[in-house]
Amino acid sequence: MSSLTPNIPLQDNLRAVMVPALAKLKRYSKAVVTFHFFVNPFYQEVHALLCGGSSKTHNVVRKERSRRTEARELKPAESLPSYTDIRMTVEAASNLFRDQDEEYRIPLKGDLLHIMQGLARSYPDEFEHHQPRNGDVVIVLPLRSAEYPKLGYFVLWSPETILREAADNRGDQEIRCIFQERLRQVLVRIFTNYYGMAPSTYLPSYYKPGRKRVTLLCAEIRDFSRIWANIEQHGALDFNKKKQCRLSLLDQFGKIAALAVETNCGRIDQNWGSGLVGVFGEYPAAPEGSPRAGLKDALSASSSMSASFDEYAKLWMQHEFNGKDFHEYSTYLNIDPSIGIAIDWGPVLFDYFGSADHRVFMAVGERVGFVKELVSVAGRIHAEDGPSGPYWDSPANIDWREEFRGPPILLSQAAWSHVTDIAPASCRNITLPGRFGRTAVCPVTPAGLALKSVSASV
């Protein structure tokens, strides 16, 4: 496994683990074909991967083992078998397997029989031209567990009752149990460390390229270039203290913002030191889920990180920046680190970008650029501004010391329209830098968010 890295798309590493595992399971049992099934009843889908007796599969598995042993390259073979997407009703998918962790044996029938017969028609060489029939004995090894319920199931199949003896043999059962537990540990270790897999993660759709309706949160240390310049102008700090001063501010911002995002069911998508983009509502519990849950999580994260960073900034001014000595050595008048936060909701494109051996899954496109532009004016819209008279229309007339006195959280109209009761405020029309026309936004303060009162309705 040493050749598997987080720089490879999740789907490729998943196949690089599961196909050789199925081949090994087949080799040390009497199964003609071994399967791995992922089941997601809410999305009415089942994903099936199989390994049988075809020479093509045998050769690609042998080459994959050689690649991993010699570590010649990082990317798994593209010719590895892929998962087949099968559509099912919620009831059929829910009843396909038993909800248990231990191995069990069942006669082949019903929906599982129909699925396997369909796979046999699609991959006749893998089945060695046998056809699954009603009543064949199959062995099911749940890879899922109580802690990780969405890791799927191994299924061993051979014609008729060939597997009955292996199913009843206590020694074979113990070997399969050890294999089952070890592979479960491998999956959890790799995909939690590499891709941040949570217990409820459904791997086939996780980090899958496509367009999704999600909530984007962009947080940034406001006017960080001026803070940097102020640190350089601070005559009471030597070179090492200036370096430590900058790094501690960036480090704590990253920790505070990341903790707020991750504890509120989001993930960090992009990070550039003084700013980051988080994604919320990327994997809703059910298809066509309401955007309210993701937006509420984003607002909760915003409130938490804003309050935590303001508290830290005061300590940073005292202990790192030595604010009392600053005015004696600088021509600048003030420094007041704070963060701005922008939130948007809508369709966002996700895909992998980078070289063949190092690709990053990230959000791209117009909405990502929009939320980054939105954060640049967060805090610059004042309570006294009219509905069409924001800071950005006349920046030359604004004292820079007053720029960031407005609410630190800025919602797009698309985001605000779904949480008007959580963020009770009025929209303003502003002109964003580099854009023509007016943009409707809603400025809110952490204190103005009614998060607790609506928790039961989300």
210-246 burial code (b ≥16 CB/10 A, e <16):
eebbbbbbbbbbbbbeebbebbeebeebeeeebeebb
How does residue 434 score in pLDDT terms, banded at 50, 70 and 90? confident
Q: Is 284 exposed, middle or buried (0-12, 13-18, 19+ CB in 10 A)?
A: middle
pLDDT of residue 378: 87
Structure tokens that stand for 166 in this block: 């292996």
Residue 401 pLDDT more than 70?
A: no
Give CA–CA dist 264/268, Å, rounded.
11
Residue 2 pLDDT more than 70?
A: no
- Cβ–Cβ < 8 Å for 450, 424: yes
Q: Is 23 exposed, middle or buried (0-12, 13-18, 19+ CB in 10 A)?
A: buried
DSSP state letters, 57-109: HHHHHHHHHHHHHHT--SSPPTTS--PEEEE--HHHHHTSS-S-SS-EEEE--
How does residue 454 score in pLDDT terms, banded at 50, 70 and 90? very low
What pLDDT digit, counting tens, does each position of 203-224 carry?
Answer: 999 999 999 999 999 999 988 8
- Cβ–Cβ < 8 Å for 446, 302: yes
- Express as a percent the part of the chain with pLDDT over 90: 56
How does residue 238 score in pLDDT terms, banded at 50, 70 and 90? confident
Give CA–CA dist 428/267, Å, rounded.
29
Give CA–CA dist 89/91, Å, rounded.
5
What pLDDT digit, counting tens, does each position of 384-399 carry?
Answer: 444 444 444 444 434 4
Q: Point out the least confidently predicted range of 272-276, 286-290, 417-421.
A: 286-290
pLDDT of residue 220: 94
**Across all residues in the chain, what is the average pLDDT?**
86
Helix pair 224-233, 239-263: axis angle to 10 deg: 150
Structure tokens that stand for 271 in this block: 């990070």
Structure tokens that stand for 290 in this block: 């309401």
Residue 430 parent element (H or E):
strand 428-430
Residue 457 pLDDT more than 60?
A: no
Overall average pLDDT of the 168-193 stretch? 93
Give CA–CA dist 334/229, Å, rounded.
12
Do 10-195 and 209-457 show the same overall fold? no
Torsion sign over Cα 363, 365, 367, 370: positive
Overall average pLDDT of the 408-417 stretch? 93
What pLDDT digit, counting tens, does each position of 298-308 carry?
Answer: 999 999 999 99
Torsion sign over Cα 301, 306, 312, 313: positive
Rounded (5°) CA angle 79-85-89? 170
Top-ranked range on mean pLDDT: pick from 112-121, 327-336, 446-455: 112-121
Strands (E), 246-378: 266-271, 275-280, 339-354, 359-364
Residue 63 pLDDT more than 90?
A: no
How does residue 105 score in pLDDT terms, banded at 50, 70 and 90? very high
Q: Is 38 helix (H, G, I), strand (E, B) or coil?
A: strand
Roughly how many angstroms between the first and final C-alpha of the chain, as a whole number?
A: 42
- Cβ–Cβ < 8 Å for 141, 176: yes
Closest by Cα among 106, 73, 53 to 358: 73
Q: pTM above the 0.85 mark?
A: no
User: 112 pairs with which residues across the strands?
Assistant: none
pLDDT of residue 186: 92
Residue 73 pLDDT more than 50?
A: yes
Distances (CA, A) of 396 to 229, 385, 393, 399: 20, 16, 9, 8
**Helices and strands (H and E) in the chain: how many:** 12, 14
- Cβ–Cβ < 8 Å for 439, 432: yes
Residue 383 pLDDT more than 70?
A: no
pLDDT of residue 329: 53
CATH number of the structural domain 209-457:
3.30.70.1230
Spans of all domains in the chain:
10-195, 209-457
Structure tokens that stand for 446 in this block: 């952490």
Between strands 210-221 and 428-430, the pairing is unpaired
Q: Which amino acid is at 331?
A: T
pLDDT of residue 125: 94
The answer for 434, left when phi > 0, alpha when psi is -120 to 50, beta otherwise, is: left
**Sole residue written with tokens 């698309």:** 414
Report the topology of domain 10-195.
Beta-Lactamase (3.30.450)
Q: What is the CA radius of gyration of the chain?
A: 28
